Structure 1
Amino acid sequence: MDGADAEEHGGFLFFVLASSVVFIVLFFTRRYFKGGQFNERVSAKGLVAVVTGSNCGIGFETVRELNLRKADVYMLCRSEEKANEAKRMLVRQGCDATRLHFIECDLTDFESVRRAAKETLESTDTIDILINNAGIMFQSKHEQTKDGHEKTWQSNHLGPFLLTELFLPAVKKSSYARIINVSSRIHLKSEKINLATVDDKKSFGMMKSYRQSKLANVMHARALTKELRKDGAEHVTVNSLHPGVVNTELARNTILNTPGIKQITAVFRWFLMKTSRDGAQTSIFLALGKKIGGISGKYFADCKLTQENPLALDDQACQDLYNYSLECTGLAK
């Protein structure tokens, strides 16, 4: 081998080595951003699950996984058209259509929530898994629902709270009995919730309102756990979770969803954010994980226990939120 050949050969080896290093770095970086994965071989055969916001994103992937594991799944969505489209996609991905049931439910409308609960309970008197997945984000202006509450607050907390309470008798009948609130890590940035002003226009802020609603999800899990323990229903577990930074339709009202920017950022969003399937992993972990039985009132991320906002550990504040929510939803005795 002459000098030129040796130089060319050395350059080729350097290229291969450098490419391999770059590939390995990219592979493990992407794996890091994917987060924790639920890999337990657990069957959900015979279980009845209810998932809100299940026609897209994390909810869609949660339904898919539960159905593939043989669960009977009730899909609570606002739009029948979108739900049916989602069902067709799920069937194409191997799901059993006979175990997918659409129930119309708009969490920003208490009347709709009550109808959805009634219709669901007419089909099944036992619910093994309830996943409060639906939520809204990036509401740029203050909007009030027909029930008189700020839209983000009702959609993300009061609506799911009412639905959970209406389903509690059916959940208590199950020996499995798991309730899951999809919250967000952003709740760690929330200040204390002022229940007297939470609906007011003056106190509204796009991210402030979202942070508070997600803090309420964590506090709800803790407060409901204590209520269930007082009621003798220790077998029911209630936990909350952070799904991760997920590339879902929650960003549909932001600049990230404009045609040009959406295309330009697509590769970066795919690489640096979780897919919807990745984002569903902790929900599935809490729904089916063998080690979750008995653990309640806790907060999880990446399929493991993690630290919540210290404000969510204030038992009196959690109780106050619970009592307030009963009043707002017309359930107070």
Structure 2
Amino acid sequence: MQNFTRETTGLEVVKAFQEQVTGSTFVITGPSKDSLAAEAAYCLAQSPSPPAHIILLGRSEIKIQPVIDRISELNSSIKTSYIKLDLSDNKSVRTCAEQVQAVTSKIDVLINSAGIMALEEYSVSTDGYEMQLAACHIGHFLLTGLLLPQLQAAKAARVVTLTSMGYEASDFRFEDFNFNSGKTYDRWAAYGQAKAANFMFTTELARRAAAKGTAISAFVVHPGVVLSSGIMKAVSMEHLMKALEDTKAAYAAQGVEYVPEQLKTVEQGCSTMLVAALASGLDGKSGSFLKDCQVVGAEQLKPWVKDQEKANKLWELSSGWVGEKFL
């Protein structure tokens, strides 16, 4: 995508595609202070041609108020709204969607950035689903579906959902997505399943949106490894190093050398999500996976996220979980 690399910052992306930012409405989940989502909002606020409205969705207004204040400092002309959202509670998601619909008639870009990672202890959501699956996938599935009318009202809307290379840790566990009520729980397998679900949701959303003739595009993004973003608050350095050693061993067993990713700053980490949200070069590439500001070829992906039958099966399963049919 142009000359963007893993070192490209979000602000560089926004300045390159400022015409896509102008007058647009952005809805962003998980924008607490120091997060990738917050940094993306700051970059949008610094566009030479700013957005009209940035709507921030998260669990705690106290944690998000500093982000709202910073956006106002950067550009006081931008309308900024906070709406409470707990992605692990479907009732909260429905209330949030209603409130979003009350403050905007159209959404140009929905960024599903919120998530949790590798919870040590097994827990379930309000609705009874493994917590990582609920917070990363089910809540975003429901939110996106409920906001489809506002996305369809935009000229050419985009839905950007964050995954991670952690998706490689697990296929979706259709026969045991709740880990036998926690008896077989593995924190990294649960994280991998949730991230695979983000991936599969995106490809199926892209397929269904196109089949219905809508102008909605969907992209899934790996932002990189950003330790300062807060995503790893449930993971100690000891657990992280153990996971890296286990990964190296697994690769070695297959005769492949594992090279860990270099760390990114939040400024670099938010760049790929902004490319997915704004870049004109993605026209006609709905359903793509982006990493380091570039589209990743299908040959580099694990087979389970390329399986259309599985993606459709997960969509139908998710529809049953939330009691809604979308597209």
Q: Which amino acid aligns with 1:67?
A: A
| Structure 1 contact 36–302 (Cα < 8 Å) conserved | no
Larger Rg: 1
CA RMSD of aligned residues (A): 2.2
Alignment of 1:241-320 (within 5 A): 241-247=221-227, 248-256=229-237, 272-306=262-296, 307-320=300-313
Which residue number corresponds to residue 53 of structure 1? 30
Which residue number corresponds to residue 245 of structure 2? none
Which residue number corresponds to residue 323 of structure 2? 330
Pick aligned residue for 1:126 from 83, 102, 106: 106
State the shift of 1:155 in Å.
0.2
Go from structure 1 to structure 2 and tell me whether the alpha carbon gap of 1:87 and 1:150 turns closer, same or farther (over 3 Å shift): same
Matches of 1:294 and 1:118 in 2, distance apart? 31
Farther off after superposition, 223-232 or 152-161: 223-232
1:27-79 deviation line (CA, Å, top 9, x unaligned): xxxx9873676541423121111000012310101111122221111000100
Matches of 2:306 and 2:149 in 1, distance apart? 26
Matches of 1:214 and 1:332 in 2, distance apart? 22
1:178-200 deviation line (CA, Å, top 9, x unaligned): 0011100121232x212231123
Pick aligned residue for 1:178 from 150, 153, 158: 158
Q: Which amino acid aligns with 1:121?
A: Q
Which residue number corresponds to residue 177 of structure 2? 198
Matches of 2:271 and 2:290 in 1, distance apart? 11
| Structure 1 contact 246–273 (Cα < 8 Å) conserved | yes
How many residues matched?
288
Q: Per the alignment, in what secondary structure is the counterpart of residue 103 of structure 1? A: strand
Higher helix share: 1
The share of aligned pairs that are identical, in percent, is 26
State the shift of 1:226 in Å.
1.4
Q: TM-score, normalised by structure 1?
A: 0.81
Pick aligned residue for 2:46 from 44, 68, 71: 68
| Structure 2 contact 218–287 (Cα < 8 Å) conserved | yes
Matches of 2:5 and 2:25 in 1, distance apart? 33
Q: Does 1:78 align with 2:78?
A: no
State the shift of 1:172 in Å.
1.0
Matches of 2:186 and 2:213 in 1, distance apart? 40
Q: Which amino acid aligns with 1:280?
A: C
State the shift of 1:228 in Å.
1.1
Alignment of 1:116-195 (within 5 A): 116-190=96-170, 192-195=171-174
Q: TM-score, normalised by structure 2?
A: 0.83
Q: Which amino acid aligns with 1:168?
A: L
Unaligned runs of 5+ in 1: 1-30, 258-270
